């Protein structure tokens, strides 16, 4: 009797399981590809600073500090969406934010920051996008959380949101700063 | 004599041109095949070869440079996987997290075969136990048909 019930309900059970998978799939963003760089040291680079082109910045310069690397560009429309959040973050002075001007003309980047406000501790210029490729950037804006040892801990693909900042990024930054 | 030298020189130039053209063709073919195995991350359902996204252009350029500098296809794929993850490969690698993906269909096939055989066996058993009654009926049917 119980065997029969089991056999009868098997198709329904399979259906429910498949439905569960499909339902969960509805809430996942296929554009967000998990980065293989999480938990790995930030790729080495030495890039000219946007405001002082004669000086460079390397990840080694940030050693001992938790920092954010924000990949942006003056041609990037959704960068405008996250920009107020970055300005607030800069005002709160919680964590240094390095801006990586990705495939942007320095003059355009400077003009954009002058008119929209500059939230960056330092801005660097990745003119040909090579460093972007090393960081696996494919959807500007992107934001990386990098710890004191220079290891990438988190990557936000697409514009920062207040939710992502308050619930994920800042708690992680605080935790990393304590350690 | 001068004519002979000229002919040799011309032949040498022609051979050189042909060999570089052949090498170029081989490189182009190799790049083409690599690019069709790699995914453009911006447009996701296009290969690097098909995509017009600026990033795809940069990555094609990168792939070409790596190939020209003597890197093997595996090294080039590894370079992109290290930056963008397995998702850049159209053909996922076989590893513990993808065992179900690769071997799941065979698992389902095996389940189907097991179900099939158990059904066949059960049917054979009911036929064997039920032969007495049907044969009486069959005899009657034959008698009816033979009339």
Number of domains in chain B: 2
How far is A142 from chain B, CA to nearest CA, in Å? Answer: 13
Domain that holds residue B142: 94-147
Most confidently modeled range among A121-125, B8-12, B135-139: A121-125
Kindly state whether residues B56 and B26 are assigned to the same domain: yes
Kindly state whether residues B50 and B40 are assigned to the same domain: yes
Query: Of B52, B68, B93, which residue is a domain's last?
Result: B93
Share of chain A above pLDDT 70, in %: 99
Nearest to A134 among B44, B83, B85 (CB): B83
Kindly state whether residues B61 and B130 are assigned to the same domain: no
- In chain A, the domains with their CATH numbers are 36-178 (3.40.30.10)
Kindly state whether residues B88 and B17 are assigned to the same domain: yes
Position A114 scores a pLDDT of 95
Query: Of B93, B108, B131, which residue is a domain's last?
Result: B93
Mean pLDDT score across all residues of chain A: 92
Of residues A30 and A171, more confidence is placed in: A171
Kindly state whether residues B81 and B118 are assigned to the same domain: no
How far is A91 from chain B, CA to nearest CA, in Å? Answer: 33
Looking at beta carbons, which residues of chain A come within 8 Å of B85? 33-36, 136
Q: Which residues of B touch A (CB under 8 A)?
A: 41-42, 44, 54-55, 58-59, 62, 81-87
Answer whether residue B4 shows pLDDT above 90: no
Kindly state whether residues B100 and B143 are assigned to the same domain: yes
| 3 state DSSP class of A122 | strand
Q: Strand A47-48 to strand A122-126: parallel, antiparallel, or no bridges (unpaired)? A: unpaired
Kindly state whether residues B73 and B110 are assigned to the same domain: no
Query: Of B69, B93, B117, which residue is a domain's last?
Result: B93
| Class of residue A71 by CB neighbours under 10 A (exposed 0-12, middle 13-18, buried 19+) | buried
Output the domain CATH number for residue B51.
1.10.8.640
In A, minimum Cα distance to B115 occurs at A7
Position B129 scores a pLDDT of 66
Answer whether residue B133 shows pLDDT above 70: no
Looking at beta carbons, which residues of chain B come within 8 Å of A34? 85
Nearest to A133 among B44, B58, B81 (CB): B58
Answer whether residue A145 shows pLDDT above 90: yes
What's the pTM? 0.78
pLDDT classification of B139: cutoffs 50, 70, 90: confident
φ, ψ of residue A122 to 5 degrees: the values are: -145, 140
Segment A4-37, tens digit of pLDDT: 888 888 889 999 999 999 999 888 887 778 888 9
Positive/negative CA dihedral, A130, A131, A135, A137: negative
Kindly state whether residues B24 and B68 are assigned to the same domain: yes
Kindly state whether residues B100 and B87 are assigned to the same domain: no
- Across the range A74-84, mean pLDDT stands at 94
Buried b (16+ CB within 10 A) or exposed e, B65-80: ebbeeeeeeeebbebb
Answer whether residue B1 shows pLDDT above 80: no
In B, minimum Cα distance to A30 occurs at B44
Quick check: A30 and B55 CB within 8 A? no
- Contact criterion met (CB below 8 Å) for A66 and A147: yes
Position B44 scores a pLDDT of 78
Kindly state whether residues B70 and B115 are assigned to the same domain: no
Tokens of A35: 């980065």
Most confidently modeled range among A45-49, B25-29, B41-45: A45-49
Answer whether residue A116 shows pLDDT above 90: yes
pLDDT classification of A3: cutoffs 50, 70, 90: confident
Nearest to B83 among A34, A133, A139 (CB): A133
Quick check: A36 and B41 CB within 8 A? no
């Amino acid at each position: 009797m119980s065997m029969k019930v089991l056999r009868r309900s098997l198709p329904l059970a399979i259906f429910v399981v498949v439905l569960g998978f499909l339902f969960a799939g509805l809430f996942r963003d296929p554009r967000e590809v998990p980065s293989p760089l999480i938990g790995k040291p930030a790729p080495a680079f030495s890039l000219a600073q946007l405001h002082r082109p004669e000086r460079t910045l390397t990840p080694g310069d940030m050693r001992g500090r938790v920092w954010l690397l924000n990949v942006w560009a003056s041609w990037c429309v959704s960068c405008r969406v996250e920009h107020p959040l970055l300005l607030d973050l800069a005002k709160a002075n919680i964590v240094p934010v390095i801006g990586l001007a990705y495939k942007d003309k320095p003059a355009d980047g400077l003009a954009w920051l002058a008119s929209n406000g500059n939230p960056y501790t330092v801005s660097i210029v990745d003119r040909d996008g090579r460093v972007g490729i090393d960081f696996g950037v494919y959807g500007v804006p992107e934001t990386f959380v990098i710890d004191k040892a220079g290891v990438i801990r988190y990557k936000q693909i697409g514009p920062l949101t207040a939710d992502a900042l308050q619930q994920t990024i800042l708690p992680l930054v605080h935790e990393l700063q304590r350690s | 004599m001068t004519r002979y030298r000229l002919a040799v020189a011309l032949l040498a130039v022609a051979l050189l041109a042909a060999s570089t053209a052949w090498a170029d063709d081989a490189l182009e073919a190799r790049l083409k095949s690599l690019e069709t195995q790699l995914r453009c991350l911006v447009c996701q359902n296009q290969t690097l070869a098909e995509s017009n996204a600026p990033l795809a252009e940069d990555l094609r350029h990168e792939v070409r440079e790596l190939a020209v500098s003597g890197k093997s296809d595996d090294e080039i794929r590894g370079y992109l996987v290290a930056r963008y993850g397995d998702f850049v490969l159209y053909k996922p690698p076989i590893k513990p997290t993808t065992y179900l993906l690769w071997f799941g269909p065979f698992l389902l096939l095996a389940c189907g075969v097991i179900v099939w055989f158990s059904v066949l066996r059960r049917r054979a058993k009911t036929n064997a136990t039920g032969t007495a009654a049907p044969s009486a009926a069959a005899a009657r049917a034959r008698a009816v048909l033979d009339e």
